[in-house]
Structure formats: C-alpha cells, structure tokens
A and B are shown apart, each in its own frame.
Chain A
Amino acid sequence: GDSVTQMEGPVTLSEEAFLTINCTYTATGYPSLFWYVQYPGEGLQLLLKATKADDKGSNKGFEATYRKETTSFHLEKGSVQVSDSAVYFCALSDPGSSASKIIFGSGTRLSIRP
C-alpha cells in the first residue's frame, strides 16, 4: 500500500542555517504530496503542496519539489528562523480515488537555536 517515510528527528539547527528534511513515498497511483506543519499546542496546517511530477510547492521560504524518478518530496529552507521551530509532516493522497485516505509520515521535530 501507499506509504510515506521521513527523516527522524529531532533536528536542531542554529538560526539562519540551511534546512533539509527528507521525505520519500511509495504509491501505486499518482499522488498529491503535502508538507504540513504543527506549531506547539495547535493542529496541523498545510505548509505547501505539489500535485504532479516536477511541481515545486513553496510557502514562507520553504520549498519542496515533486520528484517522481526518486519518489521524493524533500523540504528545504535557505535560512531558518526561531519561529520555524515546529513538527513537520510529509503526506500524500490520491486525488484520483473516490475514497482514499491521506497518509502521513511520522513527523520531524525541528528546533532552531537563536
């Protein structure tokens, strides 16, 4: 079945460092891919998405490119801030299915030091 694997955390970086959080997926169809972020005490919220191969999603300085050849959707940011400290989830869904579920990775906790 479909699945998502993302790098384990926690990840601790200094402010202004470069960030990469790896995500790979397994899917039988042509899924849409998402990154969600969860700030302390809150629910998950969409950070960015890509719906087809080679699409790049971007938001708040974060980027991720849908790579079908490597089945990856790695999250990157050139210069992180303390306010980026949160848990990040990679996810996929198959929009072509009438009743498919959204599958999440295990989450990666990111902590940014001032």
Chain B
Amino acid sequence: DAGVIQSPRHEVTEMGQEVTLRCKPISGHNSLFWYRQTMMRGLELLIYFNNNVPIDDSGMPEDRFSAKMPNASFSTLKIQPSEPRDSAVYFCASTLQGHYTEAFFGQGTRLTVV
C-alpha cells in the first residue's frame, strides 16, 4: 500500500477563494482524521470519521470549514472562503479502529492564503 495520500502537497491561494484538500486513506482502514498544524497552536484535530460517518467535528474552527467522506477511499476538507489565518499544514491520517494499530499520516498539505 502506498500509505495515506494527500493532495495537493502545496497550495497557495488568495483570500476569499475556495480551497479543497484531498485525502486517500489506506485501504481497509475504517477511521479517518483531519488535523491542522501551526506553530502557534500545534497539532489540532479538526474532525474524524468512522466508517465514513463524521463522529466528532467539534474541532472544526468555523462554518467556513467542511469535510466529507463519500466513500471509504476518499475524503475532502473544504475551506470557503479562505482567510490568511487558515494558513497551516493540514494532515490526514487513517487507522483501523477497534484494533491495536496506530494512525498512519499523510505527508500533509501546506496551505498558504495570501
């Protein structure tokens, strides 16, 4: 397996534009997590899914952020409209819930909103 795949690796966009980040989890994993990492706030859990269903989205900063998981092999995190304070590295991770396995992280998407 190629691991968790995120795209794009880097995204630069103008304030007010819509941004969509993509994630392909490891095949067979049933839980998926979206994290945001900044120097100021560290690693923050935004939302996580179990069997494609959102379980906890309390970390989503505001209504401008939304996440979907239409099937077991794909998830998106959308920011609309984007703001400069959304600049961060966004990580996706997946795991096999209910087993003694760790989470596997993607390489991250570095988002810069100018």
How many A-B residue pairs lie within 8 Å, measured between CB atoms? 61
Instruction: Establish whether residues A98 and B98, one from each chain, have CB atoms under 8 Å apart when the complex forms.
Output: yes
Which of B42-50, B70-78, B79-87 forms part of the interface with chain A?
B42-50
Interface string of B78-108 (1 = CB under 8 A from A): 0000000000000101010111111111111
Bound together, the chains give a CA A32 to CA B105 distance in angstroms of: 18
Interface string of A77-111 (1 = CB under 8 A from B): 00000000000010101011111111110110000
* Majority secondary structure of chain B interface residues (helix, strand, loop or mixed): strand
With A43-B108, A95-B98, A97-B98: A102-B103 Cβ-Cβ less than 8 Å: yes
List residues of chain B with CB within 8 A of the CB of A104: 43, 45
Instruction: Establish whether residues A99 and B102, one from each chain, have CB atoms under 8 Å apart when the complex forms.
Output: no
Taking Cβ atoms with an 8 Å cutoff, the residues of B that contact A are 4, 31, 33, 42-43, 45, 48, 50, 55-56, 91, 93, 95, 97-108
Taking Cβ atoms with an 8 Å cutoff, the residues of A that contact B are 32, 34, 36, 42-46, 49, 51, 89, 91, 93, 95-104, 106-107
